[in-house]
Amino acid sequence: MPELRKGPLLRRWVIVAPERGKRPLDFRTEDAPEIKRRGKCPFCPGNEHMTPPEIYRVPAGDWRVRVVPNKFPALSDYPALNPASQGPFLKMNGVGAHEVVIDTPDHAHDLDELPQEQVELVVETYVHRLRCLAEDGRFRYVQLFKNHGAKGGASLSHPHSQIVATPIVPPEVEARLGAARDHYERSGTCLVCTLLEEELSAGERVVEVSEKFVVLAPYDSRFPFELLIVPRFHAHDFVAMTQEERAAFAGVLRRTLARLRNLLGDVPYNFVLQTSPVPEPGKGWDWPELPSGYHWHLEILPRLTQLAGFEWGTGMYINPVPPEEAARHLRGVKQ
């Protein structure tokens, strides 16, 4: 069973998930993980029996998007956390959920190469599953992400995204909430709304401005061509988008991934959603003004550089491409 562990040196949570089944030998190869061939792909139509029992499909019948449990979950469906400490160590059962969204029946084309209606269906599915997991009551955060390419951590090449629900608010989310809260308590305004005003007036890191979204290369980009998609309307929670906003988000996501492909080729990337944690039933959030002070955004992280000793040692990143330059290149590219 997966376990959440917190050690004393950094007070950092780690998920230990032996079910993900790596023996020492599996780590020995220098090569990228094997990406399964088409005939055996468990995500292709006709191979539905190869995945664990389906959670959701749309539409009924010949599906265009399908959601299944991850076969090797990082966290899974245990009834209780049962926290226990022993000396400096704290552990809990790995209570959570780990789902795979199969973005399309088409094995060979990623989100940016699919029709707008298909990407809208994917976004509708994200919102639906995020909402269901938030309503479960046991989870404090629901993380949506996508790993693309072997260097992005994908073990299957068929386009898919993932959703992991955790019983704690992860440290990365806590850090963002802390910064937003400090700003809100000092100024009474939303940090991201303030940042957007600055970025739009400076313009040098802006890649695209549409009616509802801005795409920009963050000032402190850790990776070459790192991007943020930020709603221009203030909203703390991704799942609260209207139908019109969801369609606009599908469009900007598709265009942004297409810009990256047209400039850099089929690069490995991760995208990760940064949204509101789930309020605790009957208690709400630790920060009651969160809906006014927090603002969701999506990070896109192309994996063109390796994290190495310096990054692991210091938690600081070395980025060889200034974000202003990345934005200039990406602005000029067709989507």
- Name the minimum Å distance from CB 51 to Zn ion: 11
Nearer to Zn ion, 236 or 259 (CB): 236
Site string for Zn ion, 45-84 (x = CB under 5 A): ----------------------------------------
Task: Say which residue the tokens 């094995």 belong to.
Answer: 107
Size of residue set near Zn ion by CB under 5 A = 10
3 state DSSP class of 321: coil
CB-facing half-sphere around the CA of 174: CA atoms within 13 A:
8
Nearer to Zn ion, 190 or 273 (CB): 190
The CA distances from residue 189 to 49, 182, 193, 215, 294, in Å, are 51, 10, 8, 21, 10
Using the rule CB under 5 A, is 158 a contact of Zn ion? yes
Using the rule CB under 5 A, is 160 a contact of Zn ion? no
Which one among 3, 5, 20, 44 touches Zn ion, defined by CB under 5 A?
44
Nearer to Zn ion, 114 or 168 (CB): 114
Nearer to Zn ion, 167 or 218 (CB): 218
3 state DSSP class of 280: strand
Of 160, 236, 295, 297, the catalytic one is 160
Using the rule CB under 5 A, is 326 a contact of Zn ion? no
Candidate segments 140-148, 276-284, 289-297, 298-306, binder of Zn ion by CB under 5 A: 289-297
Using the rule CB under 5 A, is 168 a contact of Zn ion? no
Rounded Cα gap, residues 103 and 111, in angstroms: 7
Using the rule CB under 5 A, is 234 a contact of Zn ion? yes
Nearer to Zn ion, 225 or 296 (CB): 296
Using the rule CB under 5 A, is 267 a contact of Zn ion? no
Cis peptide upstream of residue 2 (ω within 30 degrees of 0): no
Under 8 Å CB-to-CB from 235, ≥6 apart: which residues?
241, 295, 296
3 state DSSP class of 284: strand
Using the rule CB under 5 A, is 209 a contact of Zn ion? no
Using the rule CB under 5 A, is 212 a contact of Zn ion? no
Do residues 72 and 1 lie in contact, with contact meaning Cβ atoms separated by under 8 Å?
A: no
Do residues 106 and 38 lie in contact, with contact meaning Cβ atoms separated by under 8 Å?
A: no
Candidate segments 44-52, 167-175, 303-311, 324-332, binder of Zn ion by CB under 5 A: 44-52
Nearer to Zn ion, 176 or 259 (CB): 176
Tell me the angle at which helices 323-331 and 243-264 cross, rounded to the nearest 10 degrees: 100
Which one among 138, 259, 295, 297 touches Zn ion, defined by CB under 5 A?
295
The CA distances from residue 64 to 45, 51, 119, 125, 253, in Å, are 9, 16, 10, 11, 18
Nearer to Zn ion, 19 or 34 (CB): 34
Rounded Cα gap, residues 66 and 148, in angstroms: 18
- Name the minimum Å distance from CB 206 to Zn ion: 17
Using the rule CB under 5 A, is 41 a contact of Zn ion? yes
Query: Which helix (H) or strand (E) element contains residue 164?
Result: strand 160-166
Using the rule CB under 5 A, is 190 a contact of Zn ion? yes
Q: Is 109 noted as a catalytic residue in this protein?
A: no
User: Residue 137, Cβ neighbours under 10 Å: how many?
Assistant: 10
Candidate segments 23-31, 109-117, 227-235, 296-304, binder of Zn ion by CB under 5 A: 227-235
Looking only at residues 83 through 112 of this chain, which bind Zn ion when binding is defined by CB under 5 A?
107
3 state DSSP class of 132: helix
Which residues form the interface with Zn ion (CB under 5 A)?
41, 43-44, 107, 158, 190, 192-193, 234, 295
Residues classed as catalytic: 160
